[in-house]
Amino acid sequence: MKKSAQAIAAIKYEQGYIVFYFHSFWYQEEIKFLSEQLLSSLSTIQLLETIAGADRENIRFIWQINYYFSLNFDCYSQSCWLEGEDEKSHEQLVRLIPFFKGSEVH
């Protein structure tokens, strides 16, 4: 598989989610690469599982031992967002934004 040169066009905090917008269209085959690049911006993470569907993938992980998140990709809508899985994690979303600012996925 050829790795794409995906650049993040924007990162926004919207209604309790961090939403990632990419400059280019991406394909389901690229999700593993895109998620690895996004998550490499964070320190101290532990991957829990990847749930793959027909057009959607979810990558669940723990950040800093205490916070549970899900990185979600939806192919049809070209959506990518990060959400907290519980109230404590949800409150930490704003702390994650600086890790992604200026990030570029190569």
18 domain residue, yes or no? no
Per the structure, the complete domain to which residue 80 belongs is given by 24-100
86 domain residue, yes or no? yes
45 domain residue, yes or no? yes
Please report the DSSP string for the chain in residue order: -PPP--BEEEEEEETTEEEEEESS---GGGHHHHHHHHHTTSSSEEEEEEEE-SSEEEEEEEETTTEEEEEEEETTTTEEEEEESSHHHHTTHHHHHHHHTT-B--
Number of domains observed in the structure of the chain: 1
79 domain residue, yes or no? yes
pLDDT tens, position by position, 14-23: 888 999 999 8
14 domain residue, yes or no? no
The pTM of the full predicted model, rounded to 2 decimals, is 0.88
Percent of the chain with pLDDT strictly greater than 70: 91
3 domain residue, yes or no? no
